[in-house]
Chains A and B, each alone.
Chain A
């Protein structure tokens, strides 16, 4: 395994600061991407879908549990 050089504390901190500049750019880019997501157009759900839950049949609207947003992951199980 060919690992990076071992350096002094001062050099290590300088390297960390250089990396941090790029990391902050990435963080800001991620924030900007999320801001673009919030401006994505919306698609109206026209159909009525049915799901089975622990207490029986439910609509897609029921899955919100009264809240305004639903994040739903489709698992393969």
Chain B
């Protein structure tokens, strides 16, 4: 059920964040289910003790990692009722080390931040700005 509440991950991508799933099923089974359900995010097969090492070998859960070059860090973990609160773009960003990266947030010094609303976009325009209708279209309130 949780999967049907996951917002379009391109909005997370716009904040330097990748969203993915992992489970034990082989890739062909995962691909079939993704196609049947219309889920688009990456979904990988666990092959080793990754699930046990990060608290998800016996129960679902959400881990958040940060990458600094080739160094990886675990920055957050939640499961049970914590997972139930997730699904929206802001709910995931609020779990991350960098947050929503918006100017109003109380974040450590030097964290990347930009104005709220400014970075939000149509989901197909982040990678294709040529689709934008231009500022006048927004100003006219056509949307």
Interface residues on A, range: 35 or more
A77/B30 in contact, CB under 8 A: yes
Contact B18 A69 (CB under 8 A): yes
B17 to chain A, nearest CB (A): 4
Find out whether the CB atom of A43 lies under 8 angstroms from the CB atom of B27.
no
Please name the residue on chain B nearest to A46 by beta carbon: B72
Binary interface encoding of chain B residues 64-92 relative to chain A, with 1 for a CB under 8 A from any of its CBs, else 0? 11111011111110000001001000001
User: Can you report 9 residue pairs joining A to B where beta carbons are below 8 Å apart?
Assistant: A42-B97, A63-B18, A67-B18, A70-B18, A70-B66, A71-B20, A76-B60, A77-B25, A77-B29
Q: Which residues of B contact A45 (CB under 8 A)?
A: 65, 72-74
Chain B binding surface, main DSSP class: mixed
Stretch at the interface among B102-110, B120-128, B130-138: B102-110
The 6 closest A-B pairs by CB, nearest first: A74-B56, A52-B45, A42-B73, A51-B44, A45-B72, A69-B17
Q: How far is the CA of A42 from the CA of B19 in the complex (A)?
A: 19
Contacts A43-B74, A58-B44 given: A77-B98 contact, CB under 8 Å? no
A49 to B66, CA, bound (A): 15
Q: How far is the CA of A73 from the CA of B49 in the complex (A)?
A: 15
* A residues near B12, Cβ cutoff 8 Å: 71
CB of B83, distance to nearest CB on chain A (Å): 7
* A69 near B50: Cβ-Cβ < 8 Å: no
Given contact pairs A45-B74, A51-B45, A68 touches B16 in the complex (Cβ within 8 A): yes
